[in-house]
Structure 1
Amino acid sequence: MALFDVFVFILFSFLLLPLQPSTSVEICRVFCGGQWIRFPFSLSDEADRCGYPRFNLSCRNQALTVITLPFAGEFRVEIIDYWVQSIWINDPDYCTPRRFLKGLNLSHTPFEPVHPQNYTFLNCSAGVSTQLPEARYIDCLSAETFSVVVIPTNVLDSYASLVSSSCLKIATVLVPSWDPNYGMRLTWNEPDCKFCERSGGACMFKSDTGLDVKCYGGFSPGLPESAKYGLAFGLGIPLLCIAGLVFYLRRKVNDYNHHQHPSPEISIPVAPRRLTTEPKGLDGPAIEAHPTTLLGESGELPRPNDNTCPICLCEYQAKEMIRTIPDCKHYFHASCIDEWLKLNATCPVCRNTTERSAPSASSSSSSSSSH
């Protein structure tokens, strides 16, 4: 009975350990402007260790979140996406193109533009913008007698005759991804908390000094949090039932032998039954035998239409490692499929069974797309 109690205690400790929140770190977050502000961002009145350097924000009347960039000025914060580490910021007057014309200087900030491209701003006669299919009309810079449009510089030559006769070139500037309603999109690389956010953890400083960060709580990178909970309880409950059944049967066998053979001299010891279960997943060498590919700066994929990992549902990014299952050619984030294959020997997409052991000559390949 004592051994069974120990087994139950260890099993429940293992299952519930990832669910316990960390008490060794203060979780700093505040609600402002319709969204939660948390690490690496912090408000100016929060504790110093609540945010990463140069990620300071301010909250005005609990309705507007503002960020001030050293050489670009003040912007309103529309959206912060912690999973992909991007932020949408907008001109306070919703005229972000005016800020582009003044020159977007991101020096001394942790941010970089997303998908920057050269655009040419044109001042054209009223109605000309409809004859430029690839041009975007800038309402906040236009008037009744003229239209200000912006057009990708690389296609400007296609409309050279129309532009020369009806438009005046204002400037050519480098413009990041932008939207009339949400402004422009920026991203940051340091600190890197993407995997921590996706696993449901809290990314914070590792200690009271220095800039090293750590993920507190949550699960390790790979499967989403809901999948981890499902696996934990899905495996834990059957194991508890099997352990209880084994204990019950052993007690019955011992009681039967005791009644049938009361004399210790002639009692026949009953050998304990061992429950053997063939592992369902793959071992380390078998997983590593599956080929990997390191995406280049362009993020070009073997099948461009499959740009999302089927396990974590996140888009592939440049410099990420993807792993391919050779039999069906499906590919995933390496960290995602590695966690899956430890528990399942099948492809998550088509359910085809993959090899259980690594071949004698590894078929894994690692390449970096240079396109």
Structure 2
Amino acid sequence: MAPLLPLLLLLPILLLLAIADALPPACSEVVTCAGQVVHYPFSLNSSESDCGYPGLDLFCEDNATLILPVKSHRYRVVGIDYLAHTVAVSDDDISKYANTGGCLRLHVNLTIDYTNSWLQLTQSDSNVTFLYNCKKSISWLPAVELRGCQQQDGKKSYVLPDGGITGTEAYEYECEEVVVAPVLGLHKEKILPLTNGSFGEVVKAGFELMYNAHSQQCDGCERSGGWCGYQRNDTHGGMNFTCFCDNGPAAARCNQWCAT
């Protein structure tokens, strides 16, 4: 029986290694990118098994740009307020805008499925509307022509505060595309009426999104002291909800017998 003694002594170490292998990188780990502190419920450069809310996967590029993808479109993270549960972002398209006469060309209307999304716009947000490549000129205020966007065929583009035009009117002016950009209402109010140089700074300043743990699964997991996340199901494919705990992953919550 003596040869079994070393194995018995090694057993606790092997169990600890197994638990460590089962866990993703520490959910409580704090990392930085582009001067921003990133930690749970956000994940950074997430793998197939990571903790954090779905849709809050951030990507760090050259430690200079922090990106939040929303429906495959890129938004630059300006700041994260973990106490208020808000993240300030700006459309990454703005990075391609040249202040010296370039055309501020946005491509995506932000749409959020409030039933399933972890993100939602806040009451601090407002809108600015862009009308691109319009065949007919818009001469009435508060529409402002976008400098640098005029086409060789004479088509022009415009920007105006939210509510200044309807879909019917946009059709009337034969505009090829209408993009509504969220902005912070406070910033927009300071520069109204819009001028050809002011709207670019308003869009660049971005807007706020609130993240909300509306999932009963995550709520129960977090109240039990865990971090909610997902792990790949090697048998059936897809991702299974997982509650990551200090002593390893659980199906629903940590210390289930004392959680309420």
TM bin, normalised by shorter chain, reads 0.3 to 0.5
What TM-score does the superposition give when structure 1 sets the normalisation length? 0.35
Higher strand share: 2
- The higher relative CO (CA closer than 8 Å, separation ≥ 6) is in 2
TM-score, length basis structure 2: 0.46
